[in-house]
């Protein structure tokens, strides 16, 4: 059936974030600004973590990968969202729609597992500080990141194949700003019972596993922090954990509210708003909450800016010295007329 769908190539019409055919320039500028802020914050984190030798700990290793995932995550959906705000009702091919869905699901699941890995890293740092280097070895960190990518892509491949095997009307109006799983299930004209059973059972296990790991990690952190006698130490730990938990709650809460309910309870308006939270808002907040408020990251940014300023100053001084050297050499060289007289 999937091959038949690819050969017949039904077409989908993305209706965008807002119903209707009117253009929305103010919303376009708002989401364009958020998208640029997202790219600036996350790409800055990727460059800083990769280039600064002081940020070689496992925490920043996970942050670098999380920032890379966040950039790709928003790039999959936001350009379509921006185009839909200026040109509603865009036509998308069958292949393009399901390719977008595949990468969106894969990157979203990768982010959830990276959040779980970061929570585990913080739990080890707080609860077992003397064994931190022994537990969080480079090999284990690499294995956690590789497992996150692998599980996410296998999960996304299964869901994409199941949903693409269904039958769809041609053309099919998609009341969303991207091709989402719940939307495609609601549009299908064939029986979706088998696909929904597989998606809810396998998907529930895949999505709830990182959520369970995050909950266990922060439960251990909470117990450890409550055992600290210093009020200042408790306050610092709770402020860091609180910021992390806000983002985790936004991400997992909106994901669970959208994907783990029957297709009969589908609401286009609610799904679009919830999708903005976990697909646009959360990836934009991540670098600022996790990283740019950190003193070590601020120090790395200052060192990078200082090095760039020094390099520009040295480059400018070199050009000035070269200019004066060439000018002096020109003055010492006899003119052409003197050679002619000889």
Among residues 14, 22, 218, the alpha carbon closest in space to that of 116 is found at 218
Cα Dmax for the chain: 101
Picking from 204, 203, 208, 213, the residue whose alpha carbon sits closest to that of residue 116 is 213
Report CA Rg, the chain: 27
| Residue 14 φ/ψ, nearest 5 degrees | -80, 115
Q: Which two tokens stand for residue 265?
A: 């309870």
Give the span between the Cα atoms of 279 and 255, in whole angstroms. 10
The per-residue pLDDT for 160 is: 92
pLDDT surpasses 80 at 15: yes
Residue keyed to tokens 């309910």:
261
Check if the beta carbon of residue 57 is closer than 8 Å to that of residue 95: no
Q: Residue 203: phi, psi to the nearest 5?
A: -65, -35
Residue 92, both tokens: 């998308």
Q: Please choose, from the candidates 42, 10, 28, 332, the residue with its C-alpha nearest in 3D space to the C-alpha of residue 166.
A: 10
Residue 98 pLDDT > 60, yes or no?
Answer: yes
Ranges 77-81, 155-159, 217-221: which has the least confidence: 217-221
The 10s digit of each residue's pLDDT in 153-203 is 999 999 999 999 888 888 788 888 888 888 888 888 888 888 888 877 877
Question: CA-CA distance, 205 to 150, in Å (whole number)?
Answer: 15
Q: What is the pLDDT of residue 3?
A: 45
Beta bridge partners of residue 299, listed in sequence order? none
Mean pLDDT to the nearest integer, 92-96? 90
Separate counts of helices (H) and strands (E) for the chain:
13, 3
Higher-confidence position of 234 and 7? 234
> Is 135:178 a contact under the CB 8 Å cutoff?
no
């Amino acid at each position: 059936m999937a091959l038949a769908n690819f050969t017949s190539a039904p077409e989908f019409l993305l209706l965008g974030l807002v119903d209707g055919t009117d253009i929305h320039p103010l919303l376009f500028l708002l989401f364009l600004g958020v998208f640029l802020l997202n790219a600036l914050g996350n790409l800055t984190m990727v460059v800083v973590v990769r280039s600064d030798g002081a940020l070689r700990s496992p925490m920043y290793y996970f942050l670098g990968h999380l920032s890379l995932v966040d950039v790709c995550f928003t790039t999959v959906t936001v350009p379509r969202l921006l185009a839909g705000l200026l040109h509603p009702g865009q036509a998308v091919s069958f292949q393009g729609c399901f390719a977008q869905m595949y990468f969106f699901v894969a990157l979203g699941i990768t982010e959830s597992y990276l959040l779980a890995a970061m929570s585990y890293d913080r739990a080890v740092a707080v609860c077992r500080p003397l064994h931190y280097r022994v537990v969080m070895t480079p090999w284990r960190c690499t294995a956690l990141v590789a497992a996150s990518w692998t599980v996410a892509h296998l999960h996304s491949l299964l869901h994409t194949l199941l949903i693409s095997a269904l039958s769809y009307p041609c053309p099919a109006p998609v009341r969303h700003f991207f091709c989402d799983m719940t939307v495609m299930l609601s549009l299908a004209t064939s029986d979706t019972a088998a696909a929904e059973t597989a998606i809810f059972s396998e998907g529930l296990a895949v999505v709830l596993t990182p959520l369970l790991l995050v909950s266990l990690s922060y439960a251990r952190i909470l117990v450890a922090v409550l055992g600290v006698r210093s009020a200042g130490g408790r306050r610092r730990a709770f402020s860091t954990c609180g910021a992390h938990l806000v983002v985790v709650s936004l991400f997992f809460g909106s994901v669970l509210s959208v994907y783990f309910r029957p297709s009969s309870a589908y609401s286009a308006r609610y799904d679009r708003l919830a999708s903005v939270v976990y697909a646009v808002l959360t990836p934009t907040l991540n670098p600022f909450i996790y990283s740019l408020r950190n003193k070590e990251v601020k120090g790395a940014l200052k060192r990078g800016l200082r090095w760039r300023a020094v390099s520009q100053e040295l480059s400018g001084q070199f050009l000035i010295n070269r200019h004066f050297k060439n000018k002096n050499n020109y003055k010492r060289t006899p003119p052409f007329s003197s050679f002619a007289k000889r």
